[in-house]
Structure 1
């Protein structure tokens, strides 16, 4: 996905992406109580992302776009104040922890035990994120698709 447009000076959400997310939130609210809960979760994630420092915000925005594009069945929500994505059972599958949350040198993309990433007796369940690139995006997309498979 494009990370820049003439209406957006950062590597964050484009104006088109922001508009699409607002439209989706309105659609969910229109679906009733269950839809409203999803819309509230989406809004909470977008609000949390907006509060992050610029570098963390750009990473979180790209993670959000990548997760929602590759696992549309996951519902955005906040989890311990972090953007997260839950399955149909409302169990967290993947989350993003910004570096500012605990004053660390990198942000983290993490997976909970509901993610289908098992690989023998030991496998990674979290990944450090410092910058976003096409290589990082490809790897995150692969991990998210595997997590929900």
Structure 2
């Protein structure tokens, strides 16, 4: 790296810092809950509240993705992860929804963590751009969930 390149590096973006603060708050909140049932119910309320806060275009997508995940992967528990709706198995994130607005991206994303069993050869997709949740997109998400949990 040249001196010019290193002098321009300013560390994390404001959006990345905000996501890290969200995650720290999520950890604090989760540690204060009493029972497992309370934790699960509160986590789902937090996910739905986060979705409700999104701008309309992202909210519509996130609501549909949430419904598809709930219908096709009921073993996944909704929870916030870096301020994003995510879905975990035994506490480990399997998939998440990232709104376009969160990182000022061109499109929303449905992503899968390294815990998802999507492995296919030496290279495979772990994130999928989402501009509309059509019947075809719902079927693709459902198939990815099935594979991720296999």
TM value normalised by structure 1: 0.77
Q: How does 1:75-114 map to 2 (within 5 A)?
A: 75-88=77-90, 90-114=91-115
1:21-44: per-residue Cα shift (whole Å, max 9, x none)? xxxxxxxxxxx7101100111011
Number of the residue aligned with 1:123: 124
Give the unaligned 5+ runs of structure 1.
Answer: 1-31
Q: Give the structure with higher Rg (CA).
A: 2
Partner-residue secondary structure (3-state), 1:85: strand
Deviating above 3 A after TM superposition, structure 1's stretches of 4 or more consecutive aligned residues are none
Number of the residue aligned with 1:7: none
Partner-residue secondary structure (3-state), 2:111: strand
Number of the residue aligned with 1:138: 139
Give the unaligned 5+ runs of structure 2.
Answer: 1-33
Length, aligned pairs only: 117
Q: How does 1:1-149 map to 2 (within 5 A)?
A: 33-88=35-90, 90-149=91-150
Instruction: State the Cα RMSD in Å.
Output: 0.9
Whole-angstrom CA distance in 1 between matches of 2:43 and 2:147: 23
1:51-90: per-residue Cα shift (whole Å, max 9, x none)? 00111001000000001111101100000000000002x0
1:117 Cα offset (Å):
0.5
